Structure 1
Amino acid sequence: MSRRFAQLAFSPAVRRHQHEHGSDRAYGRMLEGPAAADPIGPAEAEFIAERDSFYLATVGENGWPYIQHRGGPAGFLKVLGEHTLGFADLRGNRQYITRGNLDHDDRVSLFLMDYAHRTRLKILGRARAVEDDPGLLAALTAEGSPGRPERALIVDVEGFDWNCPQHIPQLFPRDAVEQALGTLRTRVEELERENARLRAAG
């Protein structure tokens, strides 16, 4: 866990529970040091570029959290700098809950999953919608995006945390499974032909 992520996530109430359950010593040192935003490193950039979906959490004016799924071609969430992410926000059901929440509170949490490798990356940041920049929107729109881009969303990353694989189920994308099954079918057919040839020759 990064120092900045801990500074943002470990509120006094969280620290109280850590103390009660004996984990405060392990995490306490992470609160030390300057409150500087975490830079996105090569490992984070590579992981982000491979994702074809993530979850985005915001908070509404009424205090209720809201989580929305975002999906697209792998790499549609783009690293724009060592502290900046961006993506083209596609038109959906036109409820605009996330968009409205950002007018109230720009704090967001992104949750990126890789079920095949049982890996997850959590990101805390501040997001802003850019409504009137066609050039930026075009640059962020990934080829093969499944919808109409309405605006650009830019996330200024504050902190991130890599989680351990405990309790993450190992799941595989359908296309990867189909590819593996296709390879197996081809091999089975080759073995069946070879078996038939050997029987005929015997």
Structure 2
Amino acid sequence: MGHGFMDIALTPSVLAAQKEMHADHLWTQYKGHREFTRFTADEAAFIAERDSFYIATASESGWPYVQHRGGPAGFLKMIDDRTLAFIDYRGNRQYISTGNLIANDRACLILVDYPRRARLKIYGRVEKLGLESDPPLTDRATDKEYGAKPERIFRLRLEAFDWNCPQHITPRYTERQIADAFAPLRARVSDLERENALLRGQLERRGEA
């Protein structure tokens, strides 16, 4: 893989759109290194923390389909620096993404860290595997304590990735993140309530005396 994210994304029509908007020089003259074709420790840490991602596929009719995938944090597993895998659990049983990937194995994933306003884009080719076809891979990708019913496994071979700027990403927090952030405050309030009750009791006893 000697190409980068922009080599895939910058098609003739995209280049034409950039030229029309006078933005073509931003990329045709770009001198930075953007050949992100191997995951590093930064991507590994980011992926391991995510509990959801969006996956885009295309049907035989040419229509795109974007699906939200969710699960326990880290359910998208990084197998090596060019391979991701995730278990496909039973959902509404439409199988649109599954069918699209049979006809066209190209996919694009977007992973978002809302609190830190970070976004990772991934181009890859996705292979559908039976749960018994690669037991070590299936075992590694399975979250044993997750109660959903697994149906298959998807293995993604990385073509390229890139990071987005944080613009327009509104910080959002999960219930767990909010609970963790407020835990010290709740503990302090509990301490003050106990202290207040103790002082009230002392005052009442002095009044009786």
Same fold (TM over 0.5): yes
Which range moved further: 17-26 or 69-78? 17-26
**How many residues end up aligned between the 2 structures?**
199
Q: Shift in Å at residue 21 of structure 1? A: 1.9
Q: CA RMSD in A?
A: 2.4
Q: Shift in Å at residue 14 of structure 1? A: 0.9
Q: Deviations over 1:125-173 (max 9, x none)?
A: 1101012415132221123224111111010111111111110010111
Residues 41 and 82, structure 1, Cα contact 8 Å, conserved in 2: yes
| Amino acid in the other structure paired with 2:14 | V
* Residue 138 (structure 1) aligned with residue 129 (structure 2): no
Secondary structure at the counterpart of residue 94 of structure 2: coil
* Residue 4 of structure 2: aligned partner: 4
Residues 114 and 173, structure 2, Cα contact 8 Å, conserved in 1: yes
Q: Shift in Å at residue 17 of structure 1? A: 1.6
Residues 102 and 128, structure 2, Cα contact 8 Å, conserved in 1: no
Q: Deviations over 1:97-145 (max 9, x none)?
A: 1111111111001010111111110101110101241513222112322
The whole-number CA distance in structure 2 between the counterparts of 1:8 and 1:31 is 17
Correspondence 1:97-108 to 2 at 5 A: 97-108=96-107
* Residue 72 (structure 1) aligned with residue 76 (structure 2): no
Residues 36 and 162, structure 2, Cα contact 8 Å, conserved in 1: no
Correspondence 1:81-96 to 2 at 5 A: 81-96=80-95
The whole-number CA distance in structure 2 between the counterparts of 1:80 and 1:170 is 29
Runs of 4+ in structure 1 over 3 Å off? 29-33, 192-202
| Amino acid in the other structure paired with 2:9 | A
Q: Shift in Å at residue 73 of structure 1? A: 1.3
Give the gaps of 5 or more residues in structure 2.
none
Q: Shift in Å at residue 179 of structure 1? A: 2.6
Give the gaps of 5 or more residues in structure 1.
none
* Residue 162 of structure 2: aligned partner: 161
Residues 18 and 24, structure 1, Cα contact 8 Å, conserved in 2: yes
Secondary structure at the counterpart of residue 7 of structure 2: helix
Correspondence 1:1-202 to 2 at 5 A: 4-29=4-29, 38-131=37-130, 132-133=132-133, 135=135, 136-195=137-196, 200=202
Secondary structure at the counterpart of residue 4 of structure 2: helix
Q: Shift in Å at residue 198 of structure 1? A: 6.1
TM-score by length of 1: 0.88
The whole-number CA distance in structure 2 between the counterparts of 1:129 and 1:148 is 16
Tell me: CA distance 1:83–1:134, structure 2 relative to 1, closer, same or farther (3 Å).
Answer: closer
Residues 73 and 144, structure 1, Cα contact 8 Å, conserved in 2: no
Secondary structure at the counterpart of residue 69 of structure 1: strand
The whole-number CA distance in structure 2 between the counterparts of 1:167 and 1:154 is 31
Residues 47 and 76, structure 2, Cα contact 8 Å, conserved in 1: yes
The whole-number CA distance in structure 1 between the counterparts of 2:30 and 2:129 is 34
| Amino acid in the other structure paired with 1:55 | Y
The whole-number CA distance in structure 1 between the counterparts of 2:154 and 2:31 is 29
